[in-house]
Amino acid sequence: MRIARSMARWSDAVKEAQASRWLDGCGVLVCRLASGDQPIEVDGHPVTFWEFIDGRRGRPSDVRQLGDLVGRIHRLLHPAEFVLPRFNPLGRVAARIEDAPIPDVDRRVLTEMLDEIAAQLPRLDFPHAPTVIHGDAHVQNLMVPADGKPILIDLENVAIGHPEWDLAVTATEWQVAGFWTDEQYQEFVEGYGGFDVTSWSGFEVLRRAQAIKMTTWLMQNVNESQEIRDEYELRMRTIRDGEPLRCWTPF
């Protein structure tokens, strides 16, 4: 079962249900809805029900399969049954910056960087045309059942966008966060089909955007533990200095 925060997310829940049915029908291994009309409203929340996946979460050894699944999605034609929205790469970042319990100086730095990135994005010359993308394609959004065939989950961000955005997730985790070894990142590239997004001149802008997205997602929870606060401060040093430290901790 998946419960969205408010009815403001109703359209996202509808899209996630549509995307699951469509991708499954295209032969892509994704999480499947349980039977019945979905989503439904329960006490002011959009709710969806999903088939249970008896397996483990994705881990570094699955990175090649992640590249393969992402590539399968990118090669699909746009769905005829429903209309996917255009991908908004900076989505909820501004709201996170405004609402998070962080120092004002950090808020100013993040806001200025976000504005700078937003101004640069329209000028980028993307190597590939917009297509269907997952929108949050990281290895923790894989579930691996006993048969060893990874299943892609968390479809709420599926949209039409440049495939480089999906590839930038793992590439940033490699270059900036240090979540991947060089060999593991190369496995991801090979699993995808050989295109390395870091070889594109515009990748630096996407990398900065992804680093800010990863940081603003975490900073919503800075008051939950000292461990999260320490990690947030480390990520902010990376962003302010502009130098990949490659020592982030995944959460």
In angstroms, rounded to a whole number, what is the distance separating the alpha carbons of residues 243 and 114?
Answer: 17
Residues 137 and 200: their CA atoms lie apart, in Å, by: 19
**Per-residue model confidence (pLDDT) at position 114:** 97
What is the structure's pLDDT at 167? 99
pLDDT in tens, 189-219: 999 999 999 999 999 999 999 999 999 999 9
For each successive 10 residues of the chain (251 residues), what is the average pLDDT?
A: 89 94 97 94 95 95 97 97 95 93 94 97 98 97 94 96 99 95 98 98 97 95 94 92 81 84
- Tell me what pLDDT residue 2 has: 92
Enumerate the β-bridge partners of residue 2. Answer: 48
Structural domains in the chain, CATH included, are 53-241 (3.90.1200.10)
Tell me, what's the pLDDT at 148? 87
CA-closest candidate to residue 166, choices 131, 201, 200: 131
Residue 5 has what pLDDT? 82
Tokens standing for residue 58: 């994705």
The single-letter code of the amino acid at 97 is I
Q: What is the pLDDT of residue 18?
A: 96
Cβ neighbours around 120 below 10 Å, total:
15
